[in-house]
Structures are given as structure tokens and as C-alpha cells.
Structure 1
Amino acid sequence: MPTIVVDVMPKAELLDPQGKAVTGSLARLGHGQFQNVRIGKRVEMTVEGEVTDEVLAEAKKVAEEILSNQVIEDVISIEVV
């Protein structure tokens, strides 16, 4: 069965407290070369049958309306794996 993967990230212009905490921790642990870490989420949805354009359109709608908070997050990608 195919899987649709949706990646959601905080909007670039908003503070990402989780990412900031990880950036600070990496620096304290000697990994200061990594800057501006941002933490997002990945959602995997298994699909019964073929992934058609209609199924992808529905996945996009679900991603924008349910899986993300459009006030503070952007849907970065929707892909079939």
C-alpha cells in the first residue's frame, strides 16, 4: 500500500522554542556548527488503492485543515513514498 508523507514546519517568521532549545543544547555539547535548528512534524498516511490526483488533493486539504495550524505552521511537502 502506498504511503503519503506530509511535512509540516513552523512558519519561518515565528519563534520555534523547541528548535531554539535544541540549538542551545547542540552548542553546549560541542556541536556549535549547527545553527537555527527548527523542529517540525512528519505525518504518514497509508492509502488503500492507487494514489490518484484526487487522493493527493484530498491529502493536501487534510494537511492544511487538520494536520497543521495554518496560523503558525506551513505544509512544506506532500509526497508519495
Structure 2
Amino acid sequence: MKVRVDVMLKSGVLDPQGEAVRHALGSLGFEGVDGVRQGKVIELDLAETDPDKARASVTEMCEKLLANTVIESYSISLDT
């Protein structure tokens, strides 16, 4: 089963990489970009076939390693 995890900084957490991208876009002539938030995508290929077990397992992975839950939020998408 393929699983996608999207990790983003929580609202209110300073995103210096996003701000650098916003500034660079402006320098390249792209007007009207008021804000950029940069995150990461993690794709997992699991042997698990049960969606509930897969979601529970990936949630545990996120809580322990894939996301810093103090400053980041995550969402999990299953491709069943």
C-alpha cells in the first residue's frame, strides 16, 4: 500500500525557507505572491494491506520520527 505524508510547519511558526522562496519569486518578476510555506512530502510503500492498520502505523511513525509535532503538523493519505 502506498502512503503519502505531508508535513508542514504549524501556523504561526516562522518559515524562513518559505520566506526566502517568496523573496526569490519576487526578484524573478513573479508579482502577487504574498506568502509561501514550505514543507516536505514523504512517500512510503508498506506491505500492510489493511487501511486502518496502515494509518495507525504511519501515525506512530510521524509521531516518533517523520514530523516534529511541536512545530509541524502532518496529514496522511492512503492509496488503497
Unaligned runs of at least 5 residues, structure 2: none
What one-letter code is carried by the residue in structure 2 that aligns with 1:27? Answer: G
What one-letter code is carried by the residue in structure 2 that aligns with 1:16? Answer: D
**Matched residues, percent identical?**
38
Question: Where does residue 33 of structure 2 map in the other structure?
Answer: 34
What one-letter code is carried by the residue in structure 2 that aligns with 1:6? Answer: V
Question: Where does residue 9 of structure 2 map in the other structure?
Answer: 10
- Give RMSD over aligned pairs: 1.2
Runs of 4+ more than 4 Å apart:
none
TM superposition score normalised by structure 2 = 0.89
Aligned length: 79
For each residue in 1:53-80, what CA deviation from the matched residue of structure 2 results, as whole angstroms up to 9, or x when unmatched?
02211111211221011111111x1011
Mapped partners of 1:15, 1:39: distance in 2: 11
Moved more, 18-27 or 44-53: 44-53
TM superposition score normalised by structure 1 = 0.88
